[in-house]
Structures are given as C-alpha cells and as structure tokens.
Structure 1
Amino acid sequence: MSATAEGTCQTCHKPGNKLKCTNCSATYYCDTACQKSDWPLHKTRCKFLQNHPSGATSTTNGSADPQPQTIPCVIITASPTSYAKTFLPSTHPIFNTRALPITTKIGYPLVMARMAEHLPRGPATDNQHATWLNIDPGSGFAPEHWQGGIGDVVVASADGTPLYLDTLGAITDYVSSILDEFGEGKGAPRHMYSRAALDTEYLEA
C-alpha cells in the first residue's frame, strides 16, 4: 500500500514534522503558521478524524501496534464545490466500505464518507459532485440519500493507494460526461464503462 510519510505537513507538505493537531492527533504541521493557515479547512474534518483516531492501538500482549500509514485522499466541499487534499490513516473505516458502483464500472474504484451525518437538505448541504459519484451505472440516478443533505465528503481510492486532486477531478468530469449520455436518452453508455475509456478520455490526456 503506497502512502505518504508519517508527519507530512498538511499545509506545505514538508515531511518529518512532529507538531500535530491536539484535537484529532492525525494531522501534522511544520509550525503554527501552517496550522493556522489550514484551520478553515481542517476544522470540519477535525471532528471527523476525532471519531476515527489514527493513534497506535494496544495488542493483546500489551504492546503497541505501529502507527498506521497516512493515505492522501480528497475532501469535496459542498456549496460551493471545491477540492482539498487531506490524509487519512490506513486503518480508517472508509477503506472497508463498498466502492462506489460507477467508479468500479470505469475501473477506478473509489470509496466515500460523509464528514457529518443527518444534515438538513438545502443549498448549503448540496454536493453535486458527491451525488454524481454515487449514481447507479444502470439508471444514472443516485440513491435518494445521496441527492441532498450531504455536506462535505472524503473520497479515497478503494485499495488505499493515494488519490490526488487532479485524478479525482478527471474522474468526476468523466462521470459528468456519462450523465450527459443518460440525459440525451441514450440509456447506459456501456462503451464508456472501462478503465481504458477513462484513461483515453481523461487520465492520459
């Protein structure tokens, strides 16, 4: 499993840092300036990470397991939509969830998790890109609970390899083009359901 080095600064990405958020204990910084700069983005994911701590766990014989690796992932923020890099521990529950069906069809399985649950529906919690990534490959529609009240989400590669901003952007654009095919009444565009088609159109462009 490929991963970044433990202690990579969330803001400037320099490795080997010891300063970390005292709330979630999962996000590192090289100094307080970088920490303050990242806070507007980190404050949302901090609570999410507190619910899934990445610290060492105790084994049955009392010894500590090694710290898990940190995996580059992407946050999709809601209203307005934007992408931000983040890191999750390799032990995070997101990596045990089912891959999004449309991403499996196009050969790049992704997993997704809401950063907050039970949000009210409305423009402030709409997340169009998260909805797109949850569409059913046969119908082009997302499940009802992925059509509103979503808020910010974290997206990761299902196999735990790094997911970067440009890669997720290309995948989302490709899914948008799949939705265009549905919108034209052509049904499921099965000719687009392969990694080769995705690579040709977007990832190798």
Structure 2
Amino acid sequence: MPKPLPTRSRYTGGPSRGEVRRELLLQTLEDLLRTQAFATIEIADITRTAGVSRSTFYFYFPSKAAAVGAMLGDVFSEVSAVIDTWTGLGETLAERRDQLFESFEQIVSIWREHAHLMAAMFDAASTDDEVRGMFDDHMERFATDSAVRIQQEWEAREVASGPDPEALARVLVGMNVRALERDMRSIASGESAGDDGLAHVLAYVWDQILFGTN
C-alpha cells in the first residue's frame, strides 16, 4: 500500500500556536511560488516573509522540498476523491463515459488551481528523494485503481481483454502526468492559461481504451 502524503493540519478545537506557525510557513511558500521558481526561493526568503526565524522553519521541515511535499498532500487528496468517484462502476455505458469525461475536467481543474505548486513539486522531485517517493507512491495508487477499473469495464462489456491492465494503466497514468506537467509549467511560467482541450484529449484516450467508441 502506498504511504499517505502528509497534509496540512485539520483543526478540531482551534489551531495551536505551533500549527499556526506551520501553516504560515506553508502559505508563505505557496505565495512565493506564484512569483518565483522553486529553485530560486531560499529558506531565508520564506522565513523573512513569514516573520519567523530560520530555526523555526527547520523545526517543522528539514528542507523546502519537504514543505512542498506537505502542501501536495491536500492537492492529491482532492484528486484521489475524484479518482474514487470515477472508479465506481456506473450502471450504464453512457453514465460511465460521462463519469470519465467529468473526472478529467475536475482533475485538470485541480492541477491548474495549484499550477505553481505542482510545477514546484516536479522541481522538488528531481532533487529530493522523499518528495519523489511520495509522488511515485501516489501515482502507483492511481495506476492500481485504474487497472482495476479497466478490468471491470472489460468484464462488464464481455469483450476480449487487451494488454495486461496494470501495465496499460501505468502507461496511461504516465501519459497523463507528462501532459499535465507541460500544462502546469506553461501556466506557472506565464506563457499561457493552459491548453483548453487538454481534459478532453486525455479523457478521449482513456475512452477509447475502456469503451472503444468514438
């Protein structure tokens, strides 16, 4: 089973002083990422902007990459909720196809809402083993759930199965990630507002694999 990504705190009786500081650091980093590349942000920038000491930052996070990993927990929790809905088998073919296209619209929307953070995540994953491990674990969960969904659909429609569902799912998830990364980097750099047709194109590929329809 993949290990869960850390998330921002969910307060049930009011945040403690430590929780407030931790959230302040995370929010400060996310704000800085809207105007600066991850590689150019120093821990001193975060602490100075947040108005706390450098030792305070290290009390909560061993590195700025670890802080990015903590923020990613919330984003991937949102994506996981969408995936959970999509992997539930609808009663009719039309319902299942609608679920697929709606899910991709939601997933692309979530990634774009956090475009600067997601671009930073890719940067952090290239240099930080912990962030890379968390990201890989989450992608593995997507692939595993998708493989189950592919097998379910083939069995429900009583059609001859194609390649191994797990191998196929990993290729498809990898395709999604590469396309989403390009889109996020384009948005984060200010080059564009994103590809308007991205969600439909990704869903179309999955639609052809699952349903074999036009």
The TM-score normalised by the length of structure 2 is 0.27
Q: Which has the higher contact order (CA 8 A, sep 6+)?
A: 2
- After TM superposition, the score normalised by the length of structure 1 is 0.28
More helix per residue = 2
Q: Which protein has the bigger strand share?
A: 1
Bigger Rg over Cα: 2
